Amino acid sequence: MSSNNLTMFRPKVVSAGRGASWLFEGFEFFTKDWLAWLGVTIIFFVLTLFVSIIPLGNLVFIILLPTFFAGFMLGCKQQAQGHKFTIGHLFTGFTRNFSQLLILGVLHTIGLLIIAICVGGILVVMLGGMDAFLNTIGGLIDAFKDRNYLQLIEQISNFTQAILIADLVGLALYMPLLMLVWFAPALVVLADLTAIEAMQKSFTGCLLNVMPYTIYSLVGLLLAILATLPLAVGWLILFPVTIISIFISYQDVFESTAE
């Protein structure tokens, strides 16, 4: 990657209101080729369920996630240029800069494993060490068997508090990792950056746009709740809209700065 291209894709700051617009424009984008997007979403969900029953399937799938997302980004780019989005775009990431996407997936997975270890360690420490942790689990089982509901409620309360704090720490640790990978697949396949360059640019782009992403997260949370209520069928629409919103935000933050 040349330094000239790195300079071209210098992230810019956008207005806070764009955070909500990314999702609303994503829905409009979705409706223009909704049948293909629904088909890709269903295939992707089925693929996710299938790999979950294969030993180490989830690990491989997580590593390949940036490659699938890169395919989505290429499809969005094609649709934005007036072409049709097709189901085949789900796999086009495997045909462009795959080695860099694979590196990106490995780095992301390593980050997730480190966070999981940290969260698990915090949980064990909060419950008084590994022995106390195992005793707490045993206490929950014994209280349930003995129908000692007061003890069961107390054990669950203590365990829930520890889990909540550990999860909050995990979320705080995950946010920087998410910022590193948010734009990265798009930058690898659309800007021809390496995995490391893309992660650096992605982090900077997110950091410069904290306000729009705060709005984006709040609106996205509300939509996620609504999508989950009717037996989660709303995710058949919200998932592709979210994917498209990433592409639209990428265009706002990066492509409008390219010369």
Residue where the block lists tokens 């021809």 = 192
Distance CA 66, CA 103 (A): 9
Give the mean model confidence (pLDDT) for residues 69-92: 94
pLDDT at 221 (0 to 100): 94
Helical axes 34-52 vs 18-31, angle rounded to 10°? 100
Lowest mean pLDDT among 29-38, 194-203, 223-232: 223-232
Distance CA 178, CA 56 (A): 23
The 10s digit of each residue's pLDDT in 143-202 is 666 666 566 566 666 677 778 888 888 999 999 999 999 999 999 999 999 999 999 999
Mean pLDDT score across all residues of the chain: 87
Confidence class for position 121, pLDDT limits 50, 70, 90: confident
Percent of the chain having pLDDT more than 70? 83
pLDDT at 147 (0 to 100): 64
Lowest mean pLDDT among 64-68, 101-105, 124-128, 239-243: 124-128
Residue 5 has pLDDT above 90, yes or no: no
Residue 33: CB atoms within 10 Å: 17
* Residue-range domain boundaries for the chain: 18-250
Q: Which candidate, 31, 35, 48, 23, places its Cα nearest to that of 87?
A: 35
Judge contact between 27 and 234, C-beta under 8 A: no
Q: Which candidate, 72, 10, 19, 81, places its Cα nearest to that of 249?
A: 19
CA triple 95-181-216, angle to 5 deg: 115
Residue 249 has pLDDT above 50, yes or no: yes
The 10s digit of each residue's pLDDT in 124-155 is 777 666 666 666 666 666 666 666 656 656 66
206: three-class secondary structure by DSSP = helix
Residue 78 has pLDDT above 60, yes or no: yes
- Residue 114, token pair as written in the block: 């480190």
